[in-house]
Structure 1
């Protein structure tokens, strides 16, 4: 019941690269009938196939809870999203370009639809109800296989037509730079959970079961694992410090799979940020509190806001 009470029930859909989460959020704020299904992948009809699946899930929830009719739906997706125009501009992993999500979803669901970005929506819930709610200038970073972020300035989300917050593609020093390199790479290539595992495998010629395995090896004295983990911390700290210098960030919320490392990530990250910064204020580094359901709750919050705006 993180969201609290509202006047009507809403449907919530969190579309990911692997799975779709769906549920009915009743007026009291309870998530009912939550289910997780594989995201359909159709190269010829990538967005349409997903919306067809959402329509089927909406029908299932309607049959399961006939006495709790939804009055709106929230749909969130990855990629570059223009929520004002209701368009999915681009998704590298799922394959659409300039698709009119809001219009097409409303046709299939027969409800008003609030369409937005997955990380931005999850971040809005985390910022409103989680550990950063006391701050106005916040970056919420989701660090998993890739890295995405939502930026709040003066308490307001910065969207820039869907292009803000692409921190995973921000430039950072490249720890593997060769003599003919520019010396820079993108944050995702060093600081993401996927990159940590990939770089360890490349440097050690040993297969590992994800970033957590690399951390455990580092704690056991594996020098290669320790260096790869430290490189990730350096890259994340570099980007956080850039945010502090450019937009005055006062709190950074770390979510996603890598955040499950807790203080094993946050403590060295705080230390490195402190070493890099000079006169600037030190941002508070906070572990995300709402976990894997933040996106679904964010989609529901968007749908509720749509109904509030219609009244």
Structure 2
């Protein structure tokens, strides 16, 4: 059975799959990145994991993987196949495509940014299926986005399109890692809500999920923290929809797991801010933590289709 290898590399763990031509996950596996052993060890873990997946596919499906796709965090140069920078993995200019291709016997390898890769899967297979234009926004430790047009993710001229987390929504706000103040992700990410709720509740162990639960219980302090985050998020999203005019706005990541505790006030806050803009359908992501693997598989199949057409 023809299949591809898909790898979704996170800061601490990796999700992997063998993906069929119809997008089905034929085999799934997980593994720690081993980042505590240093950046070179992370690369070797990825290469070894991919080789094991290739061997599994040969044994169980009668042939070796036709290609591989890998999604990684940080700054990615997909054209050169290089992981340019990933702070949480200690990477700078890692030629991951070439290294994987060599380890996998010369098969073609596609490299993508983790959020844009997950957005590709959501657009084609998940919550954005059928929408010719969509914006996928992941609310996790940070905030990032993916711009989808006719089933393809727009990466931008320099590979950094969709970085909505660094849109400034509160110019006098907290300092961001990018050295601006008041970036969206400093105010509305899961990490930002965790920080705010830990301070407001006096519990250093409290996190964003605890805040959402307290909101549902009617805790006034939690409601204030949540409202501040939702207001900031709505401001950033209205900027994005003003520029992009998407048909569908897909929200994923850890904060989206709060469900209607997030989506009901968020939809209302967006609608309050628009003037001439058309409010898109605002929906939760559908694929959960499989989006990255599915997207990496789509990257691999797209690469094979491009090579055939060429």
Q: Could you say whether these structures have the same fold, taking a TM-score greater than 0.5 normalized by the shorter chain as the test?
A: yes
* Alignment match of 2:28 (pick from 7, 10, 34): 34
Q: Decide whether the 8 Å contact of 1:46 with 1:96 is kept in 2.
A: no
Hey, what does 1:186 align to over in structure 2? 183
Assess, with a 3 A threshold, how the Cα gap between structure 1 residues 46 and 228 changes in structure 2: closer, same or farther: farther
For the 8 Å contact 1:113–1:303, the answer to whether it is kept is yes
3-state DSSP class of the match of 1:173?
coil
Deviation at 1:295, TM superposition (A): 0.7
Partner of 2:65: 70
**Structure 1 residues 309 and 146, CA, compared in 2 at 3 Å: closer, same or farther?**
same
TM-score, L = length of structure 1: 0.88
Q: Give the secondary-structure state (helix, strand or coil) at the position aligned to 2:141.
A: coil
Q: Are 1:140 and 2:105 an aligned pair? A: no
Residue 256 (structure 1) aligned to one of 253, 258, 274: 253
TM-aligned CA deviation for residue 36 of structure 1: 0.8
TM-score normalised to the size of structure 2?
Answer: 0.89
**Structure 1 unaligned blocks of 5 or more:** 1-6
The residue aligned with 1:17 is 11
Counterpart for residue 4 of structure 1? none
Partner of 1:80: 75
Aligned residue pairs: how many? 302
- Tell me what 1:300 maps to: 297
CA offsets, 1:146-188, max 9 Å, x none? 211101246542212221111222212278679xxx9951212
Please say if 1:96 is aligned against 2:91: yes
In the superposition, relative to structure 1, how do residues 155 and 294 fare at CA in structure 2: closer, same or farther (>3 Å)? closer
Partner of 2:89, secondary structure, is coil
Tell me whether 1:277 sits opposite 2:274 in the alignment: yes
Please list every run of 5 or more consecutive structure 2 residues that lacks an aligned counterpart in the other structure. none
Q: 1: distance between equivalents of 2:112 and 2:238?
A: 27
Instruction: Give yes or no for contact 2:198–2:207 (8 Å, CA) kept in 1.
Output: no
